[in-house]
């Protein structure tokens, strides 16, 4: 993991050098392999052990920094503006494989404007090793880096039947993922589907059939908790590892789901990228 010191300072006051902080974190059990400088920022390169997967989130890492430096953490407040419509009038969520998905929450955003994300967000993503795409995708990745909760955005108008179904794939079912590869699935893999077809590999990657584009007008934001073993199995069988699957494989926090999707909706509203519909479909 690559952690920006500039970004960490947003959550905790750091009065030691990057090198001193690296020593303190390593002594506490969070191994820092090196310190790099990028455009005046110092980047901590961490090698996290399986039991510290929580520190893939900047806020959780900030808590560790606070602990080793004797400081307090500032957690961003999540306050968002919603319209008076009800999300339940737009979408229903059904979990058909509860043994593989503990929880699935969705938010809806209308009147979306897809454009480049702000420079500061692009810089933070780039320094973390993630390529900026557009404001909507970048916000989901930014919140993932901040909270350690992977998110996904679907083009709502491309979803069939106004529903999300979390189910096992049918034998031989196929999905073209966002990397433009057609993948053959099996019944051991968990997928997100609409009323007609799979639209994402749960916890791994979305599908091209509901991809965000310049013409997207309404989006559905996904925040869910998938069984680590299920995500790991899908990832390995398909030879597809992503930032999302990495975090789910380490065990994401089921209690962080709502805060993460609310945070993404908040940023979309603050950046003027869309109008948040009232409520969470959970």
Q: What is the pLDDT of residues 101-156, one digit of tens each?
A: 999 999 999 999 999 999 999 999 999 999 999 999 999 999 999 999 999 999 99
Contact between 81 and 269 under an 8 Å Cβ cutoff? The reply is yes
Mean pLDDT, residues 165-187 taken together: 97
Residue 153 CA to residue 241 CA, distance in Å, equals 18
Is residue 98 pLDDT above 90, yes or no? yes
Asked if residue 69 lies in contact with residue 16, where contact means CB atoms within 8 angstroms, the answer is yes
d(CA 265, CA 274): 9
Identify the pLDDT of residue 49: 86
Mean pLDDT for 82-110 is 98
Domains and CATH numbers, the chain: 2-69 (3.30.56.10), 82-278 (3.50.40.10)
Among candidates 134, 82, 90, 96, which has minimal Cα distance to 281?
90
At 215 the pLDDT is 97
Residues 206 and 176: beta-carbon distance below 8 Å? no
Q: Enumerate residues 6+ apart whose C-beta is below 8 A from 34.
A: 22, 45
Whether 252 shows a pLDDT value over 90: the answer reads no
The span from the CA of 122 to the CA of 116, in Å, is: 9
Any idea of the CA torsion for 244, 136, 61, 230, to the nearest 10 degrees? -20
Tell me the mean pLDDT in the region 251-265: 92
**Of 86, 108, 56, whose CA–CA distance to 262 is shortest?**
108
Given a cut of 90, whether residue 216 has pLDDT beyond it is yes
| Structure confidence by residue, pLDDT tens digits, 180-197 | 999 999 999 999 999 999
Q: Give Cα separations from 97 to 40, 79, 88, 254 (angstroms).
A: 48, 32, 21, 16
pLDDT at 125: 98
**pLDDT, the chain, mean:** 96
Report the pLDDT value the prediction gives residue 197, as an integer from 0 to 100.
98
pLDDT for the residue 62: 97
What percent of the chain has pLDDT above 70? 100
Q: What is the mean pLDDT of residues 36-49?
A: 93
pLDDT at 50 over 90: no
Report the predicted TM-score, pTM, of the whole model to 2 decimal places: 0.95
């Amino acid at each position: 993991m690559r952690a920006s010191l500039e970004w960490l300072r947003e959550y905790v006051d750091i009065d030691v050098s990057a090198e001193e902080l690296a020593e303190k974190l390593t002594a506490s059990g969070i191994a820092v392999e090196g310190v790099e400088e990028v455009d005046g920022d110092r980047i901590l390169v961490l090698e996290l052990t399986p039991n510290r997967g929580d520190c893939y989130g900047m806020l959780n890492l900030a808590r560790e920094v606070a602990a080793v430096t004797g400081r307090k953490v500032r957690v961003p407040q999540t306050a968002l503006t919603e319209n008076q419509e009800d999300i339940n009038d737009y979408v229903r969520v059904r979990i058909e494989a509860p043994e593989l998905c503990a929880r699935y929450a969705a938010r809806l955003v209308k009147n979306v404007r897809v454009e480049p994300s702000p420079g500061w967000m692009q810089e933070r993503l780039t320094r973390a090793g993630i390529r900026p795409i557009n404001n909507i995708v970048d916000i989901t990745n930014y919140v993932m880096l901040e909270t350690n909760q992977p998110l996904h955005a679907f083009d709502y108008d491309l979803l069939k039947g106004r529903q999300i179904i979390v189910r096992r794939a049918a034998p031989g079912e196929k999905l073209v993922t966002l990397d433009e590869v057609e993948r053959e699935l099996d019944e051991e893999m968990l997928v997100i589907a609409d009323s007609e077809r799979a639209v994402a590999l749960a916890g791994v990657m979305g599908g091209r059939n509901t991809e965000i584009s310049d013409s997207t007008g309404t989006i559905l934001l996904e925040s869910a908790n998938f069984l680590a073993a299920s995500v790991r199995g899908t990832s390995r069988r398909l030879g597809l590892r992503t930032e999302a699957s990495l975090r789910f494989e380490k065990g994401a926090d089921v209690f962080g789901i709502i805060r993460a999707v609310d945070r993404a909706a908040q940023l979309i509203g603050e950046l003027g990228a869309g109008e948040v519909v009232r409520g969470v479909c959970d």
